[in-house]
């Protein structure tokens, strides 16, 4: 596993409610969590991360609009991307099954060590927590860096751009 470049991406997604979709490649899919408040670089914050459907790897670079009538209809930007690597044993699938995944992120906005921790009593609720390292910060990264890392554009700019990419696959879920 060491040295393998696994996809990491966060989509900022304005659907019914604004949220950040935190996605990590595990084997052939993007395992995904919807984080309502987005990530925090402070170790004091434990951000709710609700497990949602896995997505295809091909979705990692999508930025544009999800047409009305699709689940998740609204606009999407690639808020951060890069690679990630699990920390320690066992393999990430087993760590996920056990409810605790420790990993390192190599992104443009997020970096360093993180933990995803499954909450008791609910299958879908996890917490996304920054681990203590040199990348910790009290600044609110979602406010400081609202823009897309691939286009420099904001969600609002994508929303009002009639030429933005559109996906329309009724029946599929783009949560």
User: What residue number has its CB nearest to Mn ion?
Assistant: 13
Candidates 6-14, 84-92, 131-139, 147-155: pick the segment binding Mn ion (CB under 5 A). Answer: 6-14
Q: How far apart are CB 34 and Mn ion at their closest, in Å? A: 5
CA distance 64 to 33: 19
Cβ atoms 5, 84 nearer than 8 A? no
Q: How far is the CB of 149 from Mn ion (least distance, A)?
A: 17
Decide: 145 and 45 in contact? Cβ < 8 Å.
no
**13 vs 130, which CB is nearer to Mn ion?**
13
Contact criterion met (CB below 8 Å) for 66 and 73: yes
- Is residue 13 within the footprint of Mn ion (CB under 5 A)? yes
Q: Are the C-beta atoms of residues 27 and 8 closer than 8 Å to each other?
A: no
Among 8, 9, 20, 21, binds Mn ion (CB under 5 A): 21
Q: Of the two residues 83 and 175, which places its CB atom closer to Mn ion in the complex?
A: 175
Q: What is the 3-state secondary structure (H, E, C) of 73-96?
A: CEEEEEEEEEEEEECCCCCHHHHH
CB of 14 to Mn ion, least distance (A): 9
Q: Helix or strand or coil: residue 127?
A: strand
Closest approach, Cβ 53 to Mn ion, in A, equals: 10
Region near Mn ion per CB under 5 A, out of 17-25, 63-71, 107-115, 147-155? 17-25
Residues that bind Mn ion in the complex, under the rule CB under 5 A = 13, 21, 175
């Amino acid at each position: 596993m060491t040295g393998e470049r696994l996809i990491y991406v966060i989509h900022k997604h304005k659907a019914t409610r604004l949220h950040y979709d935190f996605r990590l490649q595990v084997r052939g899919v993007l395992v995904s969590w919807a984080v309502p408040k987005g990530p925090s670089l402070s170790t004091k914050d434990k951000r709710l991360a609700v497990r949602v459907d896995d997505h295809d790897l091909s979705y990692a670079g999508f930025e544009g609009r999800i047409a009305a009538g699709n689940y998740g209809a609204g606009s999407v930007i690639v808020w951060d991307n890069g690679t990630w690597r699990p920390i320690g044993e066992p393999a990430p699938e087993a760590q996920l099954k056990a409810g605790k995944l420790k990993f390192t992120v190599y992104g443009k906005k997020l970096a360093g060590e993180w933990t995803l921790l499954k909450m008791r009593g609910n299958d879908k609720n996890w917490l996304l927590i920054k681990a203590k390292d040199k990348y910790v910060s009290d600044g609110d990264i979602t406010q400081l860096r609202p823009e897309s890392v691939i286009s420099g554009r904001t969600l609002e700019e994508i929303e009002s751009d009639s030429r933005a990419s559109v996906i329309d696959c009724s029946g599929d879920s783009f949560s």
